[in-house]
């Protein structure tokens, strides 16, 4: 398939919107990562997204809307919590999981009776949704399993020839995907951490929010001794997309955790050793507590190292238990397939 490469000019977005209306696939920038969009209410179009990404069909999509009131097309009941979250965080990188209306195709929600909804804080994304005149289902615009794309060139590398069009916009401001918050249970539950933190959601709601058990269990597993025998089933996540291995670079990756000086020394030692063995080694070591910057750069660094042919990536763990650093660590540990060493 020939992929059209488009700009963010209105005329090009109109072309992209027409493709979406006709059931085609368009990759577009958002403030978090690039998304691969299709008409969320067209089951055949959504099926093509799964195919292009090589994504398992039980993994539901986030539905993007252009006006907060459009959430009414997707769900019936707006609880006071939903309304305050919309007021506080939209447009922005917070996805709300709510009960779905029957008109939302099962394809879009992976067969679940809930739907994930988000109003992105990105001009081109909003223009595209508005001009298409339908909600747009969009997972991240990468091949399933590989790092999320934060730059147009990353999207082109993964999807050129597999989708109808790619809108080339600016690099994504946030760099990691939205926070996913489930509002269908008794307690608001974070299914995927992002730059909108548990603390800020609690402040907006005036009540406690919790993390899905798989997130905290995974962290425990990392802190535990392998001999403790924590089983993989303990991490069975409620969000089907939060798979055990994900965002994986081509290189082997090891996360080094511990006190900062020791982490730096261990990374240096492992780097020298591995280079002596003829391996090309890449290092990811963010400034201490520079979590926003880490979020912005993390996926781009993985992709750059892949294109440089790096064999092994050594990454310094971020010490943060529930803020933006925790969200980046969630991605880092998955990228490394939970391959971690403590110093
Ligand atoms: O920032 C983002 O959220 C980006 C941009 C493009 O908006 N999108 C994105 O989509 O990251 P994706 O498909 O890569 O991740 C969606 C996540 C997955 O973990 C999926 O399982 C979860 O949201 N999800 C979607 N619908 C859900 C639902 N109804 N219940 C629970 N989890 C859901
Ligand atoms: Mg994704």
Write down the architecture of domain 4-219 according to CATH.
Alpha-Beta Complex (3.90)
* pLDDT tens figures, 303-337: 999 999 999 999 999 999 889 999 999 999 999 99
* pLDDT tens figures, 270-307: 999 999 999 999 999 999 999 999 999 999 999 999 99
Q: Which pLDDT value is given to residue 221?
A: 54
* pLDDT tens figures, 249-278: 999 999 999 999 999 999 999 999 999 999
Q: Which pLDDT value is given to residue 203?
A: 98
Instruction: Please name every residue paired with 36 in a beta bridge, in sequence order, or none if there are none.
Output: 27
Nearest CA to ligand 1 atom 3: 178
What mean pLDDT comes out for the span 120-131? Answer: 98
Is the N-terminal amide bond of 40 cis, ω within 30° of 0?
Answer: no
Angle between helices 123-132 and 10-21 (to 10 degrees): 50
Percent of residues, the chain, with pLDDT higher than 90:
87
Ligand 1 near 96 CB (within 6 A): no
Instruction: Please name every residue paired with 130 in a beta bridge, in sequence order, or none if there are none.
Output: none
Q: Is the pLDDT of residue 57 over 90?
A: no
How many Å apart are CA 312 and CA 324, to the nearest integer?
25
Instruction: Please name every residue paired with 248 in a beta bridge, in sequence order, or none if there are none.
Output: none
Ligand 1 near 241 CB (within 6 A): yes
Q: Is the pLDDT of residue 122 over 50?
A: yes
Nearest CA to ligand 1 atom 12: 139
Ligand 1 near 30 CB (within 6 A): yes
Ligand closest to CA 192: 1
Report which ligand 1 atom has the smallest distance to the Cα of 109.
29
Ligand 1 centre distance from Cα of residue 124 (Å): 20
Q: Which pLDDT value is given to residue 109?
A: 96
Q: Which pLDDT value is given to residue 233?
A: 44
Q: What is the CATH number of domain 252-342?
A: 3.40.50.11030
Residue-range domain boundaries for the chain: 4-219, 252-342
Q: Which residue has the higher pLDDT, 244 or 29?
A: 29
Ligand 1 near 139 CB (within 6 A): yes
Ligand 1 near 194 CB (within 6 A): no
Q: Which pLDDT value is given to residue 230?
A: 43
Ligand 1 near 91 CB (within 6 A): no
Percent of residues, the chain, with pLDDT higher than 70:
92
Q: Is the pLDDT of residue 180 over 50?
A: yes
Q: Which pLDDT value is given to residue 216?
A: 77
Ligand 1 centre distance from Cα of residue 239 (Å): 8
- On average, the pLDDT of the chain sits at 93
* pLDDT tens figures, 216-251: 776 665 554 444 444 444 444 555 555 546 899 999
Counting ligand 1 atoms within 8 A of each CB, the residue from 52, 135, 180 with the most, and so the one to mutate, is 180
């Amino acid at each position: 398939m020939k992929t059209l490469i488009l700009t963010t000019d209105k005329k090009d977005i109109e072309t992209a919107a027409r493709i979406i209306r006709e059931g085609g696939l368009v990759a577009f920038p958002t403030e978090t990562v690039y998304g691969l969009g299709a008409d969320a209410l067209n089951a055949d179009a959504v099926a093509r997204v799964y195919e292009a990404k090589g994504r398992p069909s039980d993994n539901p999509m986030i539905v993007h809307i252009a006006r907060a009131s459009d959430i009414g097309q997707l769900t019936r009941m707006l609880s006071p919590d939903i309304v305050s979250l919309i007021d506080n965080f939209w447009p922005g990188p917070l996805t709300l999981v709510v009960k779905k209306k029957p008109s939302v195709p099962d394809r879009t929600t992976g067969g679940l009776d809930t739907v994930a909804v988000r109003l992105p804080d990105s001009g081109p994304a909003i223009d595209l949704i508005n001009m298409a005149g339908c909600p747009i289902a969009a997972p991240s615009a990468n091949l399933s399993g590989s790092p999320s794309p934060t730059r147009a060139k990353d999207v082109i590398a993964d999807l050129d020839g597999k989708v109808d069009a790619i809108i080339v916009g600016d690099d994504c401001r946030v760099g990691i995907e939205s926070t996913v918050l489930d509002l269908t249970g008794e307690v608001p539950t974070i299914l995927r951490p992002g730059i909108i933190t548990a603390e800020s959601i609690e402040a907006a709601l005036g009540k406690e929010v919790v993390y899905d058990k798989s997130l905290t269990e995974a962290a425990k597993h990392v802190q535990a001794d392998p001999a403790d025998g924590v089983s993989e089933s303990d991490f069975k996540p409620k969000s089907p997309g939060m798979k055990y291995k994900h965002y994986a670079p081509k290189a082997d990756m090891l996360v080094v955790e511990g006190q900062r000086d020791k982490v730096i020394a261990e990374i240096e030692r492992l780097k020298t050793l591995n280079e002596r063995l003829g391996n090309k080694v890449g290092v990811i070591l963010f400034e201490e507590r520079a979590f926003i910057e880490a979020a912005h750069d993390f996926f781009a660094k993985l992709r750059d190292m892949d294109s440089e042919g790096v064999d092994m990536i050594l990454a310094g763990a971020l010490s943060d238990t529930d803020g933006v650093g925790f969200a980046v660590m969630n991605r880092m540990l998955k990228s490394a397939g939970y391959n971690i060493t403590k110093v």
